[in-house]
Structure 1
């Protein structure tokens, strides 16, 4: 696989969604969790989405339960929680694993393109990957990096 656009992910209803549909957009891809100390970052992510979606930003949320089981079992509860508590309107997808043999191919690709500080494994919920309009993975942000701290990098990519 040579490009992020070669990948397909699953919507919450398990229907396939080609990432080719996002070609030409700036992407912020995030592994999320609904019951995590970092969950309030949904608010900041939504603020970025509100501000920049019309300029070409897409935020893609992927619920993950690999870190201390901090995600609902039922994806419908996850999406409802995000909408009711944080007004999330950016796309949320089916629950994924981000590490190990069962890691979703998208996250395997992202980790290969941008390793973390010590290794490629994702350490926690709300790790963020910034992808430019050509599909290049440019940045990886630690879970504790607030969405507002990424805004300047997003603005540069949007032009």
Structure 2
């Protein structure tokens, strides 16, 4: 095996292990949630309020970062000063974008919950709106973490720093 293949395999192994561990843990999380809360309207409200910010983050930030930001940051990976500037500008831009999007979601939360869960009415709808708004900081943090992750991946850090 060539040295570049061995290096790639060595760097990819932690990702493989983390993925293999995370899948059963995700299943366990779902099983515990079902055992504790069962199938109830409150569980449905929580799941909807949790998944909508996650969906927004995936739609707006994950694809954009992998298709736009990572190739740019990779170009500057050996130029420390430029890399720092690109990272800083991107992080600030991502923060402004995420704060703007989260603010827009906060204001339009009742409409978003109506579209995402048209079957929720009355108190359930109000609770979904409250929980959705409560979880909006997650959207901002995920955005910033995506920039950090993209930067680290582009300089060949896929797990814990070496």
Q: Same fold (TM over 0.5)?
A: no
Highest relative contact order (Cα 8 Å, sep 6+), 1 or 2? 2
Q: Which has the higher strand share?
A: 1
Q: Give the TM-score normalised by the residue count of structure 1.
A: 0.23
Q: Which has the higher helix share?
A: 2
Q: Give the TM-score normalised by the residue count of structure 2.
A: 0.22
The structure with the largest alpha-carbon Rg is 2
